[in-house]
Every structure is written in C-alpha cells, then in structure tokens.
Copies of this chain bind each other. A is one copy, B any other.
C-alpha cells in the first residue's frame, strides 16, 4: 500500500525519502535531475518537480537554479525525525486501534514478513 494506488508524485516522494534514508544519496549529493528522474521512473517531469517541491519546502534539499538539487546538510536526520514523529502521531494510532478492534496480536504479525 506504500507504492500502490496513491498519487505518482507521492510515490516519487517516498522513493526519494527512502533513498536518502538508506544513504543512496548522501548529504551534498546531487539528486537526479527532474527530467532524468522522470525518464527513469516513467513519469512526467512536472510530476517529478512536484515531488521535489515538497523537499525544498521542508529544507531537505538545496536548490541551485540552473544546476540541480542537492541533499541538504542534516537532511537525513531531519527526515528521519520527521518521519518518526509522523509515524507515531498519525500512522500508529489507527493501526493500534484497528488491531485492538480486530483482536490481532503482534505474534501473528512478526512471524511473517520478517
């Protein structure tokens, strides 16, 4: 559900986020250009730009006009913190509620996908 049935620009956002968190793009590295990433992902350059836009607003990437977009200093930690906060505040509560409502124990979950 992370990569299905959700807007393309959000999927692209996720891909970039994961790439930064996983260290594929280190701090100071240049991200793929809008057009290059569009081709790579089979998306429209506009859609990629829209995905990138969120990152600059959050200060995670530095834009050098005419040059490219670069991973900002401290982006990895910042991104991690933000995602942790979002997870704890927005993602986990409904999941926990759902588990209680359906009486799903952690045991039945931890055996599988691991």
Contact = CB atoms under 8 A, between A and B. Distances in A.
A99 B87 CA distance: 8
B87 A91 contact: no
A21 interface: yes
Contacts of A88: 104, 108-109, 112
Prevailing SS type, chain A contact patch: helix
Nearest to A99: B87
Interface string A63-99: 0000000000000000010011001101111111111
Contact of A109 (B90, B96, B112): B96
Given A18-B101, A98-B87, A104-B87, A93 B80 contact: no
